[in-house]
Structure formats: C-alpha cells, structure tokens
Amino acid sequence: MDPARLRAVARLGLGARADAAFDRIATIVERLVDAPVALVTVLTGEGQHLPGQVGLPEPFATAREMPLDYSFSRHVAESGEMIVVPDVRADPRMRDNPAIGEVGVIAYAGVPLTDSDGLVLGTLAVTDREPRVWTASELALLTELGEVCSSELRLRIAREIADEERRAAESAHGQLALLGELTDTLAATMDIDAALHRLGGVVAGRLADWCFITLTDPSGDLRHVSAAHHDPAHATTAGRLAELARVARFDVKALLRAVQRTGRPFRRDDADPGTLRDRLTAGHLAELADRMGFGSFLVVPITSPGTYRVLGAVVLVNGPGRAPFTEAEENTAAEVGRRAGMAVDNTRVYGRQRHVAEVLQQSMLPELPVVDGVDLHGRYLPAQDGAAVGGDWYDAFAQPDGSLMLAVGDVSGHDIEAAATMGQVRNLVRGDAYGRDDEPGPLLAQLDRALHGLHVPAAATAVLARLRRDHDDYLVSFANAGHPPPVLLRPDGEVEVWWEQPEPLLGLIPRDQRTTHHRRVAPGSTLLLYTDGLVEHPAHLIDDGIARIRSVLHGNPSLPPQELCARLVESVRRRADDIALLVVGLRGR
C-alpha cells in the first residue's frame, strides 16, 4: 500500500471499531438510497476497517473489519473513481470475491473518500443482495454524501496534525502563548482573508516588526496579499504596500520557490535587503518596505497539513535597529506557517462541506402548490455565521377536500444530519396529514408519536396550520409545538401576533393531546410563518425580533408576498441562524 496513504490512515485513528459519526452517515445513505447495506470503509495495509455500517451480517457487523480479498472498495481505491456494478458476478474483477457468498453482495456502488491531496483513503459504498441498476439520483446522492465523509476525514487528519504540532510546541512557554493566541484568532472566522489579516496583527510586534503575507489559489495565482506593522503610524504604509502588490500582480511564485526546496523558513541576517527586493519586487514596493524598516527578514512557508504543499508565505521583517532572528524564532515562525496552512485547508474543506449541505437542503425544499385565491412564497436562507445549514423547513400542500396545509419547522442542529432529519420530519408531516380532515393539534400529536415510534432522532419546533375558504373569509386552524407565533398582516395594515400558551417541542416527551387554535381572517390579509432565525439573536430577546418584523409589515397590506419576504430578510442584520419563511397572501374572490 502507498506509504503516504498509510500515514494518512494512521492519523485518522480509525481502528476496527464503530464510529458514531460515520454510522450516522451510513444510516442516512441506507434510508435515502433504500439499499440493504451501506458502508464507510477505510483501507489499511492488511484489510479494511468499517467505521460506519448498517445492514452487514455477523461477524463483520461486530468485528468492523474485513480481509482485503473480501473488499470491493479496494478496486475504487486502485482506480480513484466511482465504481458502479449492477451484478458483481459478471465483473471479472469481482466475481471471485468470497463476500458474494458469505455476505450476499450482488450489486455494488462505491465512491472514493479522499484526503486534501486527493489520496484515496476508503469508500462510501452501498450494496444489494440482488442485481440492481443504480439510478442517477442515487449515485448523485452517494457522491454528495461521499464528499461529506471526505470532509470529515480531512478534518480529522487536520486535527491530528494540529495535536502533534501542539505537543511539539509545549517545550517553549512563550511560543505556546503566541501559537495559542494565533490558533484562537484563525479559528474565529472561516473567511480566509480575514484570518490572514488577523494573523498579521498577531505576529507583528511579537515575532517581527512587520510582516507581509501572500496566498495562492490552487492554480498558483495570487489569492491574497496583506501587510501589518506593529506601529500604528505605519498602518497606512502597510496597507499601501499590500494594495500595490495586489494591483501589480505580485510575483508570488518567486517567493514560493525560495521555500519550496526545503519547506522550511529561510532568512537573511545582514542589513542589505536588496537580494530579497530584487527577487520579489521593485520600484514603489521597495520604497515602501524601506520606509517601514527593512533590516533582516525571514520567509516562512504556509504549508498544507498532510500534503505539505506550499500554499503561500509569510515574510517576517525586522528593522535595522532590531536583532536578527534567532533559531527559536525561526521554529516558532515555522509553526505559524503550518497553522496558517491548516486554517486555509479547513476553510476550503468548510466551503466544500457548506456547498454539499446547501445542495442537500435545497433539494429537500418543496415546490409550492398553485392554489386559487392564495399567493404562496417560501424562502430558505442558511446562517452567515458558523455551520452552513440546519433543519429549518417550510411546506404547503393541498388536501383532497380543497383545504391547504401550511407548515414551518426547525429541527435542532446545524449540520448535514440535521438537514437529512429535516427531510424525514417534513415527509412524516405530509404522510400523516394528507387525506385526513383532523385538526392540526391531533396531527402534531400523531407526528410526535411517529417520531418516537420510528426512532427518528429529532427534537423540533413546528407550526402546522390548515387554511379553508368560508364564504368571503378564510378560516385558519393551527397548532404550535414550541415555535415562534404566526403573524398576520391585516388588510387595514395592522399586525396581529398569534401568541398562545406554549406547548413542548416535538420529539421530547409525546403528548396525547395538542391544542388547535382558530382564527377567522379577512381577504386581503397576509399570513407569515417563519423560524426563529428571523427573530432571535444571541444579543437580543425574541420580543425585540418580533417587534422588528411587526414594524416591517405594518402599513404594507398591498405589498405582494415576494416583496414582504425580501423586506423581512433585509431587516436581519446578520443571520446567526438559518431562516425558513412561508408568506401566504389571501386574496378575495
């Protein structure tokens, strides 16, 4: 087995034992693809570990490992690509595999799980016990969730590398203090430009008088450039230096070549900085560097953890009046470069994971029905801070009797699992309510029982409403399970907030009875259902948020639902949580 792959697998620390996160992903795949067996595998030199699985027979389900000659996933690792086989007995590579008889594998589909350098570490796979033609949607879902698994593996490798480096740094108290502050600074944001600006603020004055930071994109072109000086009087000059370097398309490749040969910092300790200036810059940039003080310098590579690929560089510069860099400072600087590389990698992994989660979330949002006399507009927005998406959702569907069901809910959590669980809860709401004339309260009580009986791991808030036409008016009946109250914009421009006695969340302790509330609504009204991301913020009370949306709605009864929705979203200064909105315009006959 490739030594690089063995090192990466060893860093994962995944032995022959169950892993809760990968078991959950395997369960999600098994449910959404409807396959008897779903596996997360990690390949080693001796066999394959099974940290995530559902549906395997004994002894493999308990042992969590298989010999290599039982592995179909090794073919995925060898090819580096997805392998899809409707019947493994007809495939020359697989037809002699003993797992066909002992495990009952007939159909197989597997996607590679890779580290940050594209090295295949294992697979996310599904199998069936009879011949099966895997559909394009099933394979697309498998690919998307494979990206989630790969992201988790990369993050674990990055964490392990971080732990190794942190242990190595504990010998120097001053270095540890600096690096601890730097780690907190880089972890405080997933915006890589902001992170590198903060990095400059940490090291300038601690390791050097000033610093100049560059980062490339995967193609090698300049992605980021910034400068920072410990003296606030030079802040404008540092900003000008970075701006000129950006406009002049600073030759970052020349800078990287200086450190790529060894992957270590290199330094110049004399008072003649001309060699560095001649190699890296010229003209006004050199003049600005001299103005800030250029005596000795240290070029530090920003390296990717695991692959050790050079992504950029930090140039630490001391003025003529400061002593040259010591070996201890050089070692600390090398650690700064490694941690900056880890932040860059984590940001890129986060971006990919956010994209996958958003795609999954958007794919689960419904197509709203067209209903005579009712204008429906739904909107979902992920959080701007922290995790990408969560379990917020909205739905509307017409009943055979002509009534319209409306629902908005929020499954706890902000990750791929919350998004997948949201899809289960929404489908349970539809399946339970469709074709029944029960009031929303009993329907929510039945949903609560279904969540417990089917062992759906969900704690959720929700509002479920039924809308009926009654002559010229509308009748709205609704039930509320721990959710923010519905809001009504009346035809006269006044706003009603439908506060009721709060009832517990779904998925906690099932209740035999849930209350149904009733309202008569005039045509020309607009009903708003929403999740707490619209009105809640860690620094404010929910009452403040509801007062804000009241002010947005007040006096605007003629605005269409789309415009009201846009104004409500604009009123949120920064989304600390994801938001789901359902705006229902009720027209007259």
> How does DSSP assign 494-532, residue by residue?
-EEE------PPBTSS--S----EEEEE-TT-EEEEE-G
Cα gap 444→421, rounded to integer Å? 17
Phi, psi angle pair for 290, to nearest 5°? -65, -35
Strands in 47-54's sheet, in edge-to-edge order, are 65-67, 47-54, 37-43, 120-128, 107-114, 83-85
What pLDDT shows up at residue 281?
47
Q: Which residues, 6+ apart, have CB-to-CB distance to 549 below 8 Å? A: 487, 528, 530, 534, 535, 568, 571
298 strand-pairing partners: 267, 316
What pLDDT shows up at residue 272?
40
End-to-end CA distance of the chain: 73
Cα gap 307→43, rounded to integer Å? 19
Cα gap 164→426, rounded to integer Å? 44
Which of these, 66, 72, 31, 37, lies nearest to 54 by C-alpha position? Answer: 37
Q: CB atoms < 10 A from the CB of 232, how many?
A: 8
Query: Any idea what the Cα angle at residue 122 is, between residues 88 and 355, rounded to 5°?
Result: 105
Q: CB atoms < 10 A from the CB of 13, how many?
A: 11
pTM to 2 decimal places: 0.50
Return per-residue pLDDT of the chain as tens, 589 residues.
456 555 666 656 666 788 888 999 999 999 999 999 999 998 877 788 899 999 999 999 999 999 989 999 899 988 999 999 999 999 999 999 999 999 999 999 999 999 888 888 899 999 999 999 999 999 999 999 999 999 988 888 887 777 777 665 554 556 667 777 777 777 777 778 888 888 888 888 888 899 888 888 877 777 888 888 989 998 888 888 888 877 766 666 666 666 665 556 666 554 344 455 554 445 566 778 788 888 888 888 888 876 778 888 888 888 888 878 888 788 888 888 888 888 887 777 776 766 666 666 666 678 899 999 999 999 988 776 544 566 888 999 999 999 999 999 998 876 667 777 787 888 888 988 999 999 999 999 999 999 888 888 888 999 999 999 998 899 999 999 999 999 999 999 999 999 998 899 998 888 889 999 999 999 999 999 999 889 987 777 888 999 999 999 999 999 999 999 999 989 887 777 788 999 999 987 6
Q: CB atoms < 10 A from the CB of 109, how many?
A: 25
Cα gap 522→452, rounded to integer Å? 38
What pLDDT shows up at residue 4?
55
Two tokens, residue 579: 């938001």
**Three-state SS for 300?**
strand
Cα gap 392→422, rounded to integer Å? 7
